[in-house]
Amino acid sequence: MLADYSPISLREMDDVRLMNRIDTKYVTSLSVLPKVLNSLKSDYYMQEINGSRLNNYRTLYLDTADRAMYLAHHNCRRSREKVRIRAYADTQSFFLEVKDKNNKGQTKKKRIELPDVMAYRQEEGKKFIKLNAKYRPDTLLPSLENNFQRITLVNFLKTERLTIDLNLKFRSPTQEGIEKSMDNLVIIELKQQRYAPSLAKKILSKLRIYPVSISKYCIGTVLTVTDVKNNMFKKKINQINKIKDRQYEFF
């Protein structure tokens, strides 16, 4: 099914970076994904890297010792921030990112390329965090590791990007390396220019896949850290478990 899409290269993707955007997330099950892909293929390109359309990602999230960024999300603060290192296995590239979401739901992301995952501790990484994050670089520690595979779609108008994440695995670097997987879960994220119309929204709604507030960082933290405050996410995890086991009725 991935081969049915027209490809778009990384260089062409530069036109669709959408660093200042509106993000909408959706959750579904792996069994529903073929229906999603089949419904979108007439209107979207698929990113291809070195001949591959299913790309491997690794994320290392940073947080304070008391998990201030996690708790900001848990406590429903509308304005919040994430600091992370994103590793792209297919291109062997690494980026330090600061991602801010304001109280209007708008997301802004800034990033710099690093020589390796741990280079955020070096002078260039510290300077970037100091200039762009709300937290001092010397207060940030590895908080969660996340591995997944991603399919990236871009509409023909190049006004939106759709990422489809699957085969999610989480590991805590702070508690004896506790690992958890959510192999049947698919997280879809629509990234679009503000007020731009979206065909993907219409198609997902038709498939009864609706917007959900979800954070891979928060879910992974709840699954792998035993002593963290998590009461606000218990209902969310139960909902996600029901959705990821859904079967599409029309197959």
The radius of gyration of the chain from alpha carbons, rounded to an integer in Å, stands at 18
How big is the CA angle at 113 (ends 110 and 111), to the nearest 5 degrees? Answer: 5
Nearest C-alpha neighbor of 183 from the set 199, 198, 170, 166: 166
Average pLDDT over residues 232-241: 84
Does residue 101 have a pLDDT over 80? yes
pLDDT in tens, 171-216: 999 767 799 999 889 999 998 877 678 899 999 999 999 998 889 9
Q: What is the reported pLDDT for 249? A: 44
Taking the CA atoms of residue 24, residue 76, residue 146 and residue 34 in that order, the dihedral angle to the nearest 10 degrees is -30
Does residue 139 have a pLDDT over 90? yes
pLDDT in tens, 18-33: 556 678 999 999 999 9
pLDDT in tens, 48-94: 998 999 999 999 999 999 999 999 999 988 889 999 999 998 889 99
pTM: 0.89
Query: Which residues on adjacent β-strands are paired with residue 149?
Result: 56, 166
Q: What is the reported pLDDT for 227? A: 87
* CA pair distance 34, 29, nearest whole angstrom: 10
Q: What is the reported pLDDT for 39? A: 95
Q: Domains of the chain (ranges plus CATH)?
A: 2-244 (2.40.320.10)
Q: What is the reported pLDDT for 251? A: 35
* CA pair distance 126, 137, nearest whole angstrom: 5
Per-residue pLDDT band for 244 (boundaries 50, 70, 90) equals confident
